[in-house]
Chain A
């Protein structure tokens, strides 16, 4: 594949709370190429959103990257000053959030919010920015873009708002687009429109896309590669075919088995027992052991390292110890 756009090396993101330091992301590494879509999946509280916020430097004030590096085009952007970061954010790295209503300012017109990044980063005049803004709205498939420029967010439907968010995010031709559950709040028919739009734009702009989602259907639809997270750790990573056709980690398998399949009437739902451990639980060994039906003595005493199953497929599970040997021989 193409050249590396983003490299995240062993980041640990911690939150300062009344109970002390809580690690929400524990030693996660991944990389992303240009023109590639990486999906980060997992259940709520697994650290997938925090991982993406760490990349773009938008952690809440009590959170910080305690160790590790975020390299964007080879530069360690986690070391940047807030001022430097501001120049990158919305310019080279953009983000789309789940709730377009809360991400858009309700008292400013769509036009104002669209012009803002263009005037700030691209140094366009107001007139030029307006023209570009209308073009962008057209590009994301909004009818009557001239009229929309003077409207307020509450006058648009949910799908429209998400399109506006995408238009704003793409206004400065970013190299990396982070989409945090961009379609979760939308209906399926609208979701299909938005997913297609993101995919088309990715190809047009040759962007790297990090999509954070919990919906396995969305993952299968858009991803090139998938990273599965559980309780702050990366448990499996591979191409979308590897993850869906030969998942290795029991958690990934469980996740796939708990999504009812629309096309298969005889599908037997298999639930994962129990629930996610809390962030401050110190667990010796594998973090999934309590919910795993294959858990053995080893899982309870030692944390599994990452095993390579193929050149692109990694799983952190003791069951794959032999898998790695098989692949290497």
Chain B
């Protein structure tokens, strides 16, 4: 909400300022069993993920359910304890902060959840729910709080009279707007949208996407946009990260990734999306089978069990995460090889 200072404006004009840097993070969930409830194995939800997020950009994170994309988001925000790895936000390590220090950073990082109804207290009026944030983080008087919240409601396309209403009185799209209002109220610089528009109808989804874009331009927000809808990601994001079974398989700008996907999984994912056009029948690559069990991942390349071009090498060696062209990364022994042939 604050006006940008000259210093900030200057910083923003300088492109590619790294806002968030994640290095080699892992998140394992232990599986306990037996009489003594000992750890018998791990579900490797996020396995050695490194990435950088620049100021003012939207990074899409895509993949099938269970690929670890939500866990990655939560781990970055500190909602899940890391098994290993480092997270730097604005040049400061944040994964092991004390509670008090963490509170400072939490203001800068926010999350919008898939189901806004589940994240609102059904017995609390919307206005009060939003005011609570200011009670915790600022010293505003009751009147100031109310005025700020009223402004906030207008900002996200709601009306002043919605202040006194309860969550059940809102439609899905309006509830998501409340979720957005809550996320932006403390001037964050980074917002994680975890399937933020997936539960909405298409016409409302378009409204919410436009709102998110407007807010991004106005407040120079960076988004990490977790979604399974590649159409939305193409429209909304600057760069895209593709995940499979907890591993990052490809990262690149929207143009590179959609026009020249390197990894066979990205190619298959792109070809599987049903297109809303009837002009031409495309040749579709059909992946056989399901996602392997993350508690017992296949050795070598995690994708080799479903990959149409897998060779012996893929079963034994894990492919390296390499750069193939400017800012376009992939982890595949045969990156760039088309699987259509």
Contact = CB atoms under 8 A, between A and B. Distances in A.
A192 B272 contact: yes
B24 interface: no
A43 B275 CA distance: 18
Given A217-B274, A220-B276, A245-B278, A187 B258 contact: no
B43 interface: no
Contacts of A270: 206
B277 A220 contact: yes
A271 B203 contact: yes
A20 interface: no
Interface stretch (B79-87, B158-166, B229-237, B323-331): B229-237
A118 B270 CA distance: 39
Nearest to B213: A269
Contacts of A187: 64-65, 228, 291
Given A216-B202, A258-B206, A189 B276 contact: no
A156 to B, nearest CB: 9
Interface string B102-141: 0000000000000000000000000000000000000000
A3 to B, nearest CB: 25
B234 A269 contact: no
Interface residues of A, number: 46
Interface in B31-81: 64-65
Contact of A217 (B204, B258, B275, B291): B275
B268 interface: yes
Contacts of A176: none
Contact of A271 (B65, B206, B268, B286): B206
A265 B254 CA distance: 9
Interface string A242-273: 00110000000011111111110101011111
B73 to A, nearest CB: 18
A141 to B, nearest CB: 9
A142 to B, nearest CB: 11
B209 interface: yes
Q: Interface residues of B: mostly helix, strand, loop or mixed? A: helix
B201 A44 contact: yes
A261 B64 contact: no
Given A261-B276, A263-B275, A265-B255, A192 B203 contact: no
B231 A260 contact: yes
Given A261-B276, A275-B171, A255 B258 contact: no
Contacts of A273: 207
Contacts of A256: 276
A240 interface: yes
Interface in B253-273: 254-255, 258, 268-270, 272-273
A125 interface: no
A235 interface: no
A50 interface: no
B242 to A, nearest CB: 12
Nearest to B157: A273
How many of chain B's residues touch chain A, expressed as a range? 35 or more
B64 A269 contact: no
Contacts of B287: 189, 192-193
B273 A262 contact: yes
Nearest to A226: B278
Contacts of A218: 274
Nearest to B276: A216
Interface string A181-215: 00000011111110110000000000000000011
A256 B307 CA distance: 33
A214 B229 CA distance: 14
Given A259-B231, A265-B258, A269-B235, A219 B276 contact: yes
A128 interface: no
A273 B207 CA distance: 7
Interface of B: 64-65, 171-174, 201-207, 209-210, 228-232, 234-236, 254-255, 258, 268-270, 272-278, 284, 286-288, 290-291
17 contacts: A43-B204, A157-B290, A157-B291, A188-B272, A196-B286, A220-B276, A244-B276, A245-B278, A259-B231, A260-B209, A261-B277, A263-B277, A265-B255, A269-B235, A270-B206, A271-B203, A275-B171
10 closest cross-chain pairs (CB), A and B: A217-B274, A271-B206, A260-B235, A258-B206, A43-B201, A272-B203, A187-B64, A216-B276, A260-B231, A192-B272
Given A193-B287, A269-B209, 5 more contacts: A44-B172, A159-B290, A187-B291, A217-B273, A261-B231
